[in-house]
Structure 1
Amino acid sequence: MISIVTPSFNQGRFIEETIVSVVGQGCLDLEYIVIDGGSDDETLDIIKKYEDRLAWWVSEPDGGQYDALNKGFAKSTGEIMGWLNSDDKYTPWTLSVAAEIFRQLPEVEWLTSMYPLVWDEKGRAVRCAPRGPFNGDDFFKGDNLPGMGRQATGWIQQEATFWRRSLWERAGGSLDASMSYAGDFELWARFFKLGVLYAADVPLGGFRRYGAQKTGTAPDKYKQEALQALLRHGGKPRGQPAAAIAHGCKRICPNRLKPLMSELHLITLGKVCVFDTDSGRWGVVER
């Protein structure tokens, strides 16, 4: 079973698109939970419209997004977990692909996408640029911090990230509710200490970018919280020259030479899930 939690507060403009993108997946083994923080717009009418498709929902004051998520995950029972904020959306194939990868590749403990989508205010896909692959060594050197520009290998897209319950429980079984912005980044730091992040070679979800969103209006606060979380977990951003050299090696090095570069400790490779159309199965390559 896949458990998805959506936290919400006064997102009546977008939450129906979010809900439909989840319940419209055709995933029979889905547990969908919505935690609303006491909205006073049209949100509750929309949630009630779909309540027969929800495993559980509630509308009451909470301590913010990450407190709401903890409340929802505490009610969940699925083996695979993830969350989708109330202004974001999945692709039509998200849950079927994620479930299949976890089923066929038992070594995968958490999964994201190499192709993060960006939706505009109208819900259209307007950007899809490759990111990653990802690995813990580069993560703790600051390469996935937001705002690193050309020195970054790209953020880990929360909307496209899923994990096994066993990893969640080993990592503490909750998000850090004291954080206001970068609770996802802090969770990734804990996950990286415990397991390898695999990246699917396909888009799995999208972040809606518009002017009034929390992370859109306070990007510096997110960056500050993410950096604090990285330092707290023992990470240390490397300087721009070192980052530029490492990333330049990855970009210009032919794939056939990357294993040698990895053996020489010049680069660190990541695990990528790729689909073989002949066998109809997912496999793993290093890039």
Structure 2
Amino acid sequence: MRFSIITPNYNGGRFLEQTLASVTAQADVELEYIVVDGGSTDASHQIIARHASKIARTIIEKDTGPANAINKGLAAATGDVLAWLNADDIYYPGALERVRQVFEQRPDAAICFGGCPIIDAQGREIRSAITRFKELFYPISSRFTYQCINYLSQPALFFRRSAFEQAGPLRENMRAAWDYDFILRLWRSGGAAQVPGRPLAAFRWHEQSISGQHFARQFQEEYEAARADAGSLAPQTLIHYCVRWGIVGAYSLMARRRKSCA
């Protein structure tokens, strides 16, 4: 079982070294690592060069955003299992080998996911209550549940090539929720299997991240994607609508608190 991992990057040198190292250290599986850089002007190219011996392909050219960059990587990928890891997130040691084992045990699964804490710029876990809340849905994971609420963390999610071929590429006209829309489409190809135990990856939250800057737009787009997938009058759509406003309210409150403490 061959893995293809894509890292999109544009001026992400602040965290890129950690991201690349966390992927190239996954030595227990057959790995094709693809880095897609949108023409960075910071130290990214020097950082990528330091890891060149373990990167199968580097694409350096202008793109129209992260979704476009990831689509380029997915188009070039040859693996049986695909995923992307953004230039500020990390994998934990042995993550891909654990994913491989679960996919082999669950040939019916189109998607494989695991735990994914939120970390800050210094790598410290934050917002643990949000992580625990998401994990409550793992035992009842289903396409229905995912249409109601986005509880899967993209850095810790992997999918089969066959599911990707059926789902098609990421929507590049979305600003913040193209991953949620894409995962909804992946789910049409089969079930999702959880990797038990310790987390697979960590999602880094910081002020410059997409979720840090555009969370209201993100949850609006997620609602629209769920409505399109489940249907305007489906109970999942109504549940998602209510959940969306609760989450946006909580995030807005946290944003105001950060500003008041600054």
Give your verdict on TM over 0.5.
Answer: yes
Residues 1:121 and 2:121 aligned together? yes
How many angstroms does 1:239 deviate by? Answer: 4.5
TM alignment of 1:167-246, pairs within 5 A: 167-172=163-168, 174-202=169-197, 203-235=199-231, 236=234, 237-239=237-239
Shift of 1:28: 4.3
- TM-score using structure 2 length: 0.82
Structure with the larger helix share: 2
2:72 is paired with a residue whose SS is helix
Alignment of 1:1-287 (within 5 A): 1-113=2-114, 115-126=115-126, 127=128, 128-129=131-132, 130-133=135-138, 134-140=141-147, 142-144=148-150, 155-172=151-168, 174-202=169-197, 203-235=199-231, 236=234, 237-239=237-239
Q: CA deviation at 1:46?
A: 0.2
Taking the aligned partners of 2:201 and 2:108, their CA distance within structure 1 comes to: 22
Q: How many residues align?
A: 229
SS in 2 for 1:14: helix
CA contact (8 A) 2:119 2:203 kept: yes
- Under a length normalisation based on structure 1, what TM-score does the superposition of the two structures give? 0.75
- 1:133-158 Cα shifts (integer Å, max 9, x gaps): 22112223x233xxxxxxxxxx2100
Q: Structure 2 unaligned segments of length 5 or more: list them.
A: 244-262
Shift of 1:93: 1.9
Using the TM superposition, give the Cα deviation of residue 234 of structure 1 relative to its aligned residue in structure 2, in angstroms: 2.9
Across the aligned residues of Structure 1 and Structure 2, the Cα RMSD in angstroms comes to: 1.8
- Return closer, same or farther for 1:195/1:48 CA change in 2, 3 Å cut-off: same
Q: Structure 1 runs of 4+ off > 6 angstroms?
A: none
Q: What CA deviation, in whole Å up to 9, does each residue of 1:152-173 have, x standing for no partner? A: xxx210000001101111112x
Which is greater in Rg?
A: 1
Q: CA 1:104–1:234 in 2, change beyond 3 Å: closer, same or farther? A: closer
1:107-150 superposed Cα distances (whole Å, 9 cap, x missing partner): 2221111x32112211234435234222112223x233xxxxxx
Aligned CA distance change for structure 1 residues 166 and 10 (closer, same or farther; 3 Å): same
Residue 224 of structure 1 and its aligned partner are, at CA, apart by 1.0
Equivalent residue letter for 1:197 = A
Q: Residues 88 and 192 from structure 1, CA distance in 2 versus in 1: closer, same or farther, beyond 3 angstroms?
A: same
Residue of structure 2 equivalent to 1:269: none
CA distance in 2, matches of 1:224, 1:208: 22
Q: What SS does the corresponding residue of 1:62 show, helix, strand or coil? A: coil
Runs of 5+ unmatched residues, structure 1? 145-154, 244-287
What corresponds to 1:253 in structure 2? Answer: none
- The percentage of aligned residue pairs carrying the same residue is 33
Greater shift, 196-205 or 49-58, is seen at: 196-205
Aligned partners of 2:96, 2:20: CA distance in 1, in Å? 13
